[in-house]
Amino acid sequence: MAYEYGPLSRRAFKETAAAFSDGRITAFEMDAGAGCSHCVKSGGGCIYCDSKVGKPNEGELDLSQTLSVLDQIAAIGGKRLYICGIGEPLEDGGFWGIAEYAKKNGIALSVFTNGLAITPDVAKRLHDLGVCVIVKCDSMNETTFDMLLGHEGTATRIHDAIRNLANAGYGTRASTGETDLALSVVPTTLNLRDIPDVVRFSMDIGAFPLIAELECAGRAKERFKELQPSKEQLLELKREVEAIWGPYEGAPACPASFGLHVSDTGEVVADKRTGFACKWPWLGEIETVSFGNIKTSPLSEIAKDVWGFQTEKEKEIRLLGKIQPEQVFGGCSGKLAPLLGRFAFEISQRNEKNARKNRV
């Protein structure tokens, strides 16, 4: 297969990285509220969930504050918006306001969802608003998938949600080289044998199978040794996937890594070791640093502090990139070593261009 998930495509990454090196921010990541009814109903949620979710956090942004953030994103020149966590986005009361704003202002929106709220009507509304969607789909075997989801009967609802999206028109752009639908697949020892069927299902509906390695974070830490496949098992899985799909590289890198990340409470945070906007490149517990809150400081001013932090980290980032072990699939942010190398390069390019401007 020769198509990618549009928001995580090589084209999207190249455009975002080029803008980053020119001193422009065009990709942003925002957290949805921490509410997740599946987590509450199942007594903990998915067995490998990497986030502390369930009930909303104190001080979460309301819709007016969120729209203020979007106004600032648009003013800065934002072109792409990614909602990947922390709770279930479609249960966030502000989600539809975000989607409508993005549609109106030409901002490409990608959302990661468990799919449980996607009825036929919701699927149509998402499609009409041009929202690109990633849905959790670790197995087509409902017994196995329910085991991973932590609640019996959930797999059927997610599979139905994916079919609702396909029936609403998702996946039809695959012939152009990009699709607006991806299925998130996390290989564990429980579902390794099932993943080839997920790949076949993805091909049938024009979705992209987004395979990302298990993160040693959140609930997964409790059972990580039990759930983590060996490298040999992952390599065998890749061979099986490529026998069906053809050459498979997953996502090249998340463009949002080269942007800004706004938390559900308005904090602008970045990875503590690198300044990545994406918090999950290390496949482990997140460590972030906050640069301010959009409730009290303009996003454009906070961005300057983030850039200063990234500049300070450039040499360390370059070194980290050289010592990372090779990954088979990498995470949803892509493979870490090449991502670190590209990030350090684009930081140096941005600094050189700024220095030339200052000399003129």
Q: What is the pLDDT along the chain (360 residues), one digit of tens a residue?
A: 579 999 999 999 999 999 999 999 999 999 887 667 776 566 667 878 776 666 777 888 999 999 999 999 999 999 999 998 778 899 888 899 999 999 999 999 999 999 999 999 999 999 999 999 999 999 999 999 999 988 899 999 999 999 999 999 999 766 679 999 999 999 999 999 999 999 999 999 999 999 999 988 888 888 999 999 999 999 999 999 999 999 998 887 889 999 999 999 999 999 999 999 987 888 888 899 999 999 999 999 999 999 999 999 999 999 999 999 999 999 988 899 999 999 999 999 999 988 888 776
pLDDT at 151: 85
For position 158, which CATH number holds?
Answer: 3.20.20.70
At CA 122, angle to CA 121 and CA 127, rounded to 5? 100
Residue pair 192/184 in contact by the 8 Å Cβ criterion: no
CB within 8 A of 338, min separation 6: which ones?
A: 253, 321
Structural domain count of the chain: 1
Q: Is residue 337 a part of any domain in this protein?
A: no
What DSSP element (H or E) covers 136? strand 132-136
pLDDT at 84: 85
Q: Is residue 156 a part of any domain in this protein?
A: yes
Q: Is residue 131 a part of any domain in this protein?
A: yes
pLDDT at 181: 97
Which pairing describes strands 132-136 and 181-185: parallel, antiparallel, or unpaired?
parallel
Q: Is residue 285 a part of any domain in this protein?
A: no
Q: Is residue 82 a part of any domain in this protein?
A: yes
Q: Is residue 245 a part of any domain in this protein?
A: yes
CB within 8 A of 215, min separation 6: which ones?
A: 48, 50, 280, 283, 284, 331
pLDDT at 360: 64
Domain housing 247: 4-255
pLDDT at 41: 66
Q: Is residue 232 a part of any domain in this protein?
A: yes
Alpha helices per DSSP H over the chain: 10-21, 37-42, 63-76, 95-104, 120-128, 142-149, 154-167, 195-205, 224-227, 231-245, 299-323, 336-359
pLDDT at 295: 95
pLDDT at 154: 94
Q: Is residue 275 a part of any domain in this protein?
A: no
